Chains A and B, each alone.
Chain A
Amino acid sequence: MSGINPGNVLTEAEGAEPAVPPPVSGGKAKPSWRSLNFGARFWIAIGIIAAISALAFFGSALYPYSPDEKVGGLYDSPSAEHILGTDNFGHDVLAVLMAATRNSLLLGLQAGILATLIGVLIGILAGYTGGWLEELLMGFTNIVLAIPAIIILILISISLQSTNIEFLKGFTGLALVIGITAWPWTARAVRAQASSVATREHIDVAKLSGARTPSILLTDVLPYLASYVVMAFVLQVASAILAESTLSLLGLGPSGTQSLGIQLHWALAFQAVASGSWWAFLPPTIVLTLISFGFLFLQSSLDEVFNPRLRRGKKKNLAKAAARRAEAAKKLAEQATTTEVPA
């Protein structure tokens, strides 16, 4: 810790992009999304998520074994026929893994959409309108936020298990419950942003021109929050997948189906770790970690795209920029000399 390097701080300003790109004028200009500076992190995250989605959606369609098919005994070692061996039921682990990944991703998507919708709705209403409605909504949000979500999830899913309503018993019910319990922090983040947007001049203009509140919220406030909403959504999907696997690990998941948490639940229940049957528990563990890491990495890379203050100047980029400037200077000098010679 020998000294604060001012270079780090100063270069942060370089390459800063406005959060809302300026409107494109003229045919030759780059489309506005191209001016967003996606870093390497973004592409790594996208790569991880794409690979896992491919495994989940194409893999399970192409793989010859079904996840419900008994193809071997208890924890058969991996072989040429069953690349990842069999689990405690004698099912092919890879087939189960692919079906489980698909179900977990779909559930995460459903719950993430629901939680983001509720969170944005409550946050934007509270932040924009202010007054007693804000106090009420945020009071409610803070109370829900203080109670650990996992506890509510445990209590509701126990009730869900013994309902007679088929629709609520499966993944849809679980997605619904996770979505309903996960919105509060999104609402809090959105409210903070919405209340700052609400004080800007263009809102006054919209009000003066007679726009009604719903239309102001939709067309004048929401676009300014888009980046936060996208980031919140990414996090919501990841945390919904983790919430599902936590519940399923506890034995509260839907029965008769596959998910990453259910797969781990059976592996733990049948002593896969202690007996060293790594093929039964490592694949779901690794996939869960990759999903969670991929989404979190995506969120943090998006944060750096939208929020230039978090971006650090990279020495490599600085060197590149210097090289570019040198090149341009050289060209300019050459131009000058070539135009000078004939004259």
Chain B
Amino acid sequence: MGLRRYLTSKALWYLGALVVAVVLNFLLPRLIPGNPVDVIVSNLSQGANISSEQQAKIYAQFVEEFGLNQPLWQQFVTYVTSALQGDLGTSFSSYPTKVTALVGQALPWTLALQIPAIIIGWVIGNIVGAIAAYKGGGWDRSVFTTSLFLSSMPYYCLSILLLYVFAVVFGWFPVGGAYSLGMSPEWSWEFFWDAQSYFWLPFASLVLINVGGQAVGMRSMAIYELGSDYVNYSRGLGIGDAKMTRYIFGNAMLPQVTGLALSIGTMVGGALITELVFNYPGMGSLLFNAISSNDYPIIQAVTLLITVAVLVANFAVEIVYGLIDPRIRAAKSGE
């Protein structure tokens, strides 16, 4: 399979997944029996103090926005076209605010937290796992058990423990939030310095768990490689350690790259709850607040964005895999 064919087939698969995801994102909320707008508006008026005039206005707005008098396929077309134009609807709970504005406030926090955590966790995890497999013995056993423990720990459990021990008991870090009360997000050293003290705990809890998960995977891959015939043969030929390690870990790396693609979804999902524990103002907290106030357009926007982001990230990893896997490259030059 050549590189081009590999990429085309992958692109088609992810396109298919994207279509299914968008359809589900559109369809599932509409499975609620009864008119969703009725449900939402009655929920809204129960909790908040909204005047009947305002309520009627919201109602009319939503009926039009959802296009509820149209057939389902037409609603779907409206949904997709407005989403493509960057219009994700209007928030229920903070009424005239556009969903995109709220998402725009939350997204930078999530990106700043998750992208470094996933990359650094992956790199450190692979190094630790490889060393454990290579050294064996007590090193291996302790690293393996610790990694397994960390990786099996739900994200939020580690977050809660870290928050309690380091912020509440020792008081080394602030308890939750992303910046001090008097501050507002801006591009200044003062704000940046303030925000970084809030950053480390959630970051550490994400990195630790990612390290654990990757180390467990890398260790077993490397052990498989260490026991394989080509290793024994090369050793018999007297090939040096440095060269051997390159071969072994080069081979063990490939499944780890695919593993990264598979685990990005879980990582992102777990990180959402981590934000919740630390009260970090990212997408997770936005989603949580939207769920507790039945803010439907926000929930749908967040789920759609996360799905698209995960699919894009997966596709990017698959492209990298195609570029570094010598089998795909070799097939290309052989054609």
A9 to B292, CA, bound (A): 55
A158–B14 touching, CB < 8 Å: no
A251–B39 touching, CB < 8 Å: no
Q: Which residues of chain A have C-beta atoms less than 8 A from B149's C-beta?
A: 293
A155–B24 touching, CB < 8 Å: yes
> Is A148 interfacial (CB-CB < 8 Å)?
yes
User: B140's closest neighbor in chain A, by CB?
Assistant: A312
Q: Which residues of chain B have C-beta atoms less than 8 A from A117's C-beta?
A: none
> Is A246 interfacial (CB-CB < 8 Å)?
yes
A225-255 interface bits toward B, Cβ cutoff 8 Å, 1 = contact, 0 = none? 0000000000000100010011001111000
A285–B160 touching, CB < 8 Å: yes
Overall SS of chain A's interface: helix
Partner of B226, one of A9, A142, A242: A9
B220–A310 touching, CB < 8 Å: yes
A309–B224 touching, CB < 8 Å: yes
Partner of B39, one of A154, A162, A297, A309: A162
A162 to B163, CA, bound (A): 34
Q: Which residues of chain B have C-beta atoms less than 8 A from A266's C-beta?
A: none
> Is B29 interfacial (CB-CB < 8 Å)?
yes
B152–A297 touching, CB < 8 Å: yes
Interface hits, B4-43 → A, CB 8 Å: 13-14, 16-17, 20-21, 24-25, 28-29, 31-33, 39
Overall SS of chain B's interface: helix
In the complex where A8-B226, A151-B306, A156-B28 touch, is A288 in contact with B157 (Cβ < 8 A)?
A: yes
B163–A273 touching, CB < 8 Å: yes
A-B contact pairs, 27 of them (CB 8 A): A1-B241, A12-B227, A143-B20, A146-B13, A146-B17, A147-B311, A151-B25, A152-B28, A155-B25, A159-B29, A162-B33, A164-B33, A185-B262, A238-B152, A246-B270, A249-B156, A251-B292, A252-B291, A264-B160, A273-B163, A273-B176, A274-B175, A276-B169, A293-B152, A296-B148, A312-B140, A312-B223
User: A41's closest neighbor in chain B, by CB?
Assistant: B145
B205-243 interface bits toward A, Cβ cutoff 8 Å, 1 = contact, 0 = none? 000000000001000100110110001100100000100
In the complex where A250-B291, A296-B151 touch, is A155 in contact with B276 (Cβ < 8 A)?
A: no
B160–A273 touching, CB < 8 Å: yes
> Is B75 interfacial (CB-CB < 8 Å)?
no
Q: Which residues of chain B have C-beta atoms less than 8 A from A139's C-beta?
A: 13, 16
A268–B24 touching, CB < 8 Å: no
A238 to B136, CA, bound (A): 28
A137-168 interface bits toward B, Cβ cutoff 8 Å, 1 = contact, 0 = none? 00100111111111110111011001110000
Interface hits, A286-310 → B, CB 8 Å: 288-289, 292-293, 295-297, 300, 309-310
Interface hits, A201-231 → B, CB 8 Å: none
Q: Which residues of chain A have C-beta atoms less than 8 A from B134's C-beta?
A: 1, 4
A60 to B223, CA, bound (A): 44
User: A268's closest neighbor in chain B, by CB?
Assistant: B277
A150–B39 touching, CB < 8 Å: no
A1-34 interface bits toward B, Cβ cutoff 8 Å, 1 = contact, 0 = none? 1111110110010000000000000000000000
A312–B303 touching, CB < 8 Å: no
CB distance from A16 to the nearest CB of B (A): 11
In the complex where A1-B135, A9-B226, A249-B273 touch, is A297 in contact with B157 (Cβ < 8 A)?
A: no
Q: Which residues of chain A have C-beta atoms less than 8 A from B303's C-beta?
A: 151, 154-155
A273–B164 touching, CB < 8 Å: yes
B292-314 interface bits toward A, Cβ cutoff 8 Å, 1 = contact, 0 = none? 10000001000100110011001
Q: Which residues of chain A have C-beta atoms less than 8 A from B20's C-beta?
A: 143-144, 147
B16–A143 touching, CB < 8 Å: yes
> Is A278 interfacial (CB-CB < 8 Å)?
yes
Q: Which residues of chain A have C-beta atoms less than 8 A from B140's C-beta?
A: 312
> Is B131 interfacial (CB-CB < 8 Å)?
yes
Pick the most buried of A3, A5, A148, A152: most chain B CB atoms within 10 A of its CB: A148
> Is B154 interfacial (CB-CB < 8 Å)?
yes
A9–B265 touching, CB < 8 Å: no
Partner of A1, one of B163, B169, B227, B245: B245
17 more A-B contacts (CB under 8 A) besides A162-B39, A273-B163, A293-B153?
A1-B241, A4-B244, A146-B311, A150-B266, A151-B307, A152-B24, A158-B29, A163-B32, A249-B273, A250-B273, A273-B164, A289-B154, A292-B153, A293-B152, A309-B223, A309-B227, A310-B224
In the complex where A154-B299, A155-B303 touch, is A276 in contact with B168 (Cβ < 8 A)?
A: yes
Q: Which residues of chain A have C-beta atoms less than 8 A from B14's C-beta?
A: 146
A8 to B151, CA, bound (A): 25
B136–A273 touching, CB < 8 Å: no
> Is A171 interfacial (CB-CB < 8 Å)?
no
> Is A180 interfacial (CB-CB < 8 Å)?
no
A250–B276 touching, CB < 8 Å: yes
Closest 7 CB pairs of A and B: A148-B265, A150-B269, A296-B152, A146-B17, A155-B28, A293-B152, A143-B17
> Is B268 interfacial (CB-CB < 8 Å)?
yes
A278 to B306, CA, bound (A): 33
Partner of A9, one of B17, B232, B244, B268: B232
B276–A249 touching, CB < 8 Å: yes
A281–B227 touching, CB < 8 Å: no
In the complex where A139-B16, A312-B136 touch, is A300 in contact with B148 (Cβ < 8 A)?
A: yes
